Amino acid sequence: MLKEEFNETLESGWRNLLQILLEAMMANNYDEDRICELCERSRPIFLVEKDNAILRMQEQFMPQFLKGLKQDFLNKREYIKLLKIKSNFIQMCACHRRFFHVYCGTAYVIKGRKIYCRQCMAYYHLHVKNE
């Protein structure tokens, strides 16, 4: 394809195809190669009362998000009990290349009291236990 032939119609077609592929990948849960933007891990660290995995981690290798989550765990903040224990990846906003674990993303929204993404101006989706 020549550069002259590449116009806005072709570009929008390629963008639509990319969006369809991304949605198909999300539906099939291709999680093996993804890294959560917040915890920088492929699997989240769940904070439950009897598991102290986050306490054994060295803080110098932890991202800022996990350091704050660890402090909240030590301070026994109530929102930690409301987080849904899920390791699926989601898009919390309209940004196409930002993926979060359900667990990490919801903790980020509740802890930071932020309701929308500053990059795309879309509202965040919450995943909290029904109690």
Fold of 31-131: Herpes Virus-1 (3.30.40)
Query: Residue 88: is it exposed, middle or buried by C-beta count within 10 angstroms (0-12/13-18/19+)?
Result: middle
pLDDT on residue 8: 74
Q: How long, in residues, is the chain?
A: 131
pLDDT on residue 64: 93
pLDDT on residue 2: 54
Residue listed under structure tokens 């439950």: 48
Strand partners, 128: 83
pLDDT on residue 94: 84
pLDDT on residue 109: 86
Residue 107: phi and psi, rounded to 5, are -60, -40
Tens digits of pLDDT across the chain (131 residues):
455 666 777 777 778 777 777 776 665 555 557 888 889 988 888 888 777 788 888 888 899 999 999 999 889 888 888 887 888 888 888 887 888 888 888 888 888 888 888 888 888 876 555 54
CB 90 within 8 A of CB 103: no
- Name the pairing type of β-strands 89-90 and 100-101: antiparallel
Q: Per-domain residue ranges for the chain?
A: 1-30, 31-131
Rounded CA gap, 68 and 3, in Å? 49
Q: How many CB atoms lie within 10 A of CB 94?
A: 13
31 — alpha (psi -120 to 50), left (phi > 0) or beta? alpha
